[in-house]
Amino acid sequence: MSSQAETTRHALYQRGRTLQRLSIILTYIILVVVAFCILLPFIWLLSASLKNQTQYYAVPIQWIPQPFVWSNYVEAFTRYNFGRYVLNSVLLAIYAMVVNTLSSSLVAFGFARFRFPGRTLWFILMLSTLMLPSQVLTIPLYVIFRNLKWIDTFWPIIVPQLFGSAFNIFLFRQFFMELPKELDEAARIDGCSNLRIWWNIILPQSKPVIIVVAIFSFLASWRDAWNPLIYLSSQNNRTIPLGLLYFTDGYTSVYPQMMAATVIALAVPVLLYAIGQRYIDSGVAIAEIK
Amino acid sequence: MAITEHARDAVALKAKRSKQTRKRFFGREAVAGYLFISPWIIGFLLFYLYPLLNTIYNSFTRYKLFGKPQWIGFQNYEQLLFHDPVFAATCWHMLLYVTASTVIYIVGGLALALLLSRAFPGNHFFRTVLYLPSLMVGVAIGSMFVQVFNAGEYGLFNTILGLFGIAPVNWLNNYNNPEIGLVALIFVNFWFVGGTMLIFIAGLKGISQTYYEAARIDGAGAWHRFRYITLPLLTPVILFNTIMTLIGHIQVFDTALIFAGGGSGSVGVSGLGSVLGYHNSLSTFLTYLYQQAFVSRNYGYGSALAVVIFLITLVLTIVVLLIFRRSGNTDRW
């Protein structure tokens, strides 16, 4: 009797194990197929950026260019002015990264560490601004900036960063709330000013969230097409997205060069992800749900 | 003993002192708090509240590049809602685009998250590959996909269709069926499911394993475990992802813009036609707003359009919230 039960249990166990192994194999197969499909256009892009015109239009697709036309990258930078666009984009993105991270953390510090009347109200108001597309508010801003003679300068893009952005403030605030209060209270008793508490005590403990916000601010600026498209007009002020939108050379096709420029634009997020991967993986997802 | 007592005294003293400090500084605390959040308040008033009120006001005016706004009542709205075929087409595009994209994001993201929530070798690699494209959203990825969707046989997508014996499709400049560009635009979303996936994985990690063990002992199969444990407990995360996806997709702009240009680099050159695509087949809320306000310089009409987009987003968000509230489990919100 008992041996029979044992046999059944053993059979069940065996079956469970086979099923589990099967499901793992199935998982691998699905993931490999999905990952391959996701990667394919990027592989194509990389190869296309190194082709000449004939190779570009070859049927079937010539996956490994012969020869490698590295000059596409050189041409993108020189002839199509991408050197200038990259410079503009990098400067704007670094500025956004530094300034937005600082201003957002400052505001978040206010929300997380002080009690004042109206705090919840302001916070909810801030969160609700996240829910609505900010682009619909552009017309009045354009008129203001035009009256200030700021059109075709970087000011309309630079200035708003000074005031923090709702999502970053939210991320910082959630993180600050988790930090123990003992340290800043001790510091306050020792006569530390609030600004110094923020700078010397809160920020040094907040490396993960700082990295996540910094990377996201950089990327938001890097890929922003709306603001540059509306506020910038002269060629030397273009950023990379604008450069790609206006990428043309009269009537001849310059797609390989354009693909080279696209690779440059896409390489930066990959690079940043490689740097901040650990923090993005854990930080973003957790913070977003809270 | 003595040490513990001493420590306890110290803690008590500290607590007392901090309470005193807090009380003494309450007025100051409020001032300091407001000082710290003042950058955001100033930004909110300057770059949010004022533009919002001004946009609402302008939407009732005739307002062009030069000259002052002239009050015309509801004329802009009447024109927009009842006599503007481009806006009607745009609404139709957005309905299709937002619905399809949201389904792709939620179903795709959740499916991949379920696959990747288990630990197995290579998990991290797959997660990275799937997540990376969602950091790249924007013109650059659009410029890549314009070429991927190239009309000729050499286009990557057509090559793949060719493997299944399907003739090359003219995706982005199809003058017979311009709507097919919208299909391409929707299709691109498959590359961005990694973002929602990552949030779903974190959500799945938050579900205690004991539920699953209990269910397994009770003999519940995989489907039942998913249906009666995972899905209900994941509702808040699904809600979050749905709202974020909806709002994100209503704002689709750069990909649509570069798709509309068909990769010709002519966005700024020929204006209207290429901003919205052939026969306006790729118009979205924001490309239409861009075209009305910043290409045609109809600030008044553009403002009415802006207000309508604003309201649609607001209503959609509220509707999603209500649907999820009715289906229960929103405690964590």
Structure tokens, A281: 């993986």
| Enclosing domain of residue A31 | 2-46
What structural domains does chain B harbor? 2-58 (no CATH), 83-326 (1.10.3720.10)
Predicted pLDDT of residue A184:
86
Residue A194, domain member (yes or no): yes
pLDDT category of residue A72 using cuts at 50, 70 and 90: very high
Residue A61, domain member (yes or no): no
Nearest neighbour of A266 by CB, restricted to B140, B247, B251: B140
Residue A72, domain member (yes or no): no
Residue A175, domain member (yes or no): yes
Q: Which residues of A touch B26 (CB under 8 A)?
A: 115
In the DSSP assignment, the letter for residue A246 is T
Query: In chain A, positions 50-109, which contact chain B (CB-CB < 8 Å)?
Result: 56-61, 103, 106-107, 109
From first to last of the 333 residues of chain B, give the pLDDT tens digit.
445 556 566 556 565 555 555 554 558 888 999 999 999 999 999 999 999 999 999 999 999 888 889 999 999 999 999 999 999 999 999 999 999 999 999 999 999 999 998 888 888 899 999 999 998 888 999 999 999 998 888 889 999 999 998 888 888 878 888 889 999 999 999 999 998 998 899 889 888 889 888 988 888 888 888 889 999 999 988 998 998 899 899 999 999 998 887 655 554 444 434 788 878 888 999 999 999 999 889 999 999 999 999 999 999 999 988 888 877 544 443
Alpha carbons within 13 A on the beta-carbon side of A281? 15
Residue A74, domain member (yes or no): no
Q: Which residues of B touch A109 (CB under 8 A)?
A: 36
The pTM of the full predicted model, rounded to 2 decimals, is 0.88
Residue A232, domain member (yes or no): yes
In the DSSP assignment, the letter for residue A190 is T
Instruction: Sort A158 into a burial class: Cβ within 10 Å, 0-12 / 13-18 / 19+.
Output: middle
Same domain, A164 and A263: yes
pLDDT tens-digit map of A11-50: 767 777 788 888 889 999 999 999 999 999 999 999 999 9
- A187: closest CA of chain B, how far (Å): 11
What is the number of other CB atoms lying within 10 angstroms of the CB of residue A271? 10
Q: What is the domain count for chain A?
A: 2
Same domain, A42 and A98: no
- A52: closest CA of chain B, how far (Å): 14
Please list, in sequence order, all residues whose beta carbon lies within 8 angstroms of the beta carbon of residue B179, skipping any fewer than 6 positions away: B281
A204/B contact by beta carbon, under 8 A: no
Q: Which of B57, B268, B37 is closest to A116 using CA atoms?
A: B37
d(CA B188, CA B141): 9
Please list, in sequence order, all residues whose beta carbon lies within 8 angstroms of the beta carbon of residue B132, skipping any fewer than 6 positions away: A269, A270, A273, B194
Instruction: Sort B83 into a burial class: Cβ within 10 Å, 0-12 / 13-18 / 19+.
Output: exposed
- A1: closest CA of chain B, how far (Å): 22
Query: Does the predicted interface ipTM exceed a cut of 0.95?
Result: no
Same domain, A173 and A31: no
Rounded mean pLDDT of chain A?
89
B138 and A241 within 8 Å at the Cβ level: the answer is yes
Predicted pLDDT of residue B331:
45
What is the number of other CB atoms lying within 10 angstroms of the CB of residue A109? 27
Same domain, A92 and A235: yes
Same domain, A185 and A97: yes
Nearest neighbour of A38 by CB, restricted to B39, B130, B135: B130
Q: What percent of chain A has pLDDT over 90?
A: 63
Same domain, A285 and A195: yes
Residue A68, domain member (yes or no): no
For A286, nearest residue in chain B (alpha carbons): B202
Same domain, A21 and A110: no
B265 and A247 within 8 Å at the Cβ level: the answer is yes
Same domain, A144 and A257: yes
Do the bridges between strand B70-71 and strand B61-62 make them parallel or antiparallel, or are there none, so unpaired? antiparallel
d(CA A278, CA A189): 36
Nearest neighbour of A44 by CB, restricted to B148, B286, B290: B148
Could you identify the residue written with the tokens 């990428």?
Answer: A247
Same domain, A18 and A125: no
| Residue A139 pLDDT > 80 | yes
B202 and A285 within 8 Å at the Cβ level: the answer is yes
Predicted pLDDT of residue B170:
86
Q: Which residues of A touch B190 (CB under 8 A)?
A: 37-38
Q: Do B55 and A135 form a contact (C-beta atoms < 8 A)?
A: no
- B1: closest CA of chain A, how far (Å): 24
For A289, nearest residue in chain B (alpha carbons): B237
B29 and A114 within 8 Å at the Cβ level: the answer is yes
What is the number of other CB atoms lying within 10 angstroms of the CB of residue A36? 11
Q: Do B282 and B272 form a contact (C-beta atoms < 8 A)?
A: no
Q: Do B180 and B174 form a contact (C-beta atoms < 8 A)?
A: yes
Nearest neighbour of A262 by CB, restricted to B144, B250, B253: B144
Residue A59, domain member (yes or no): no
Predicted pLDDT of residue B263:
53
pLDDT category of residue A290 using cuts at 50, 70 and 90: very low
* Alpha-carbon B299 to chain mean position: 26
Same domain, A10 and A97: no
B40 and A107 within 8 Å at the Cβ level: the answer is yes
Q: Angle A120-A125-A130 (CA atoms, 0-180°, nearest 5)?
A: 130
Predicted pLDDT of residue B19:
58
d(CA A259, CA A42): 10
- pLDDT mean over A249-259: 77
pLDDT tens-digit map of A186-212: 998 988 899 999 999 999 999 989 998
Predicted pLDDT of residue B152:
80
Backbone angles phi, psi at B70, to 5 degrees: -115, 130
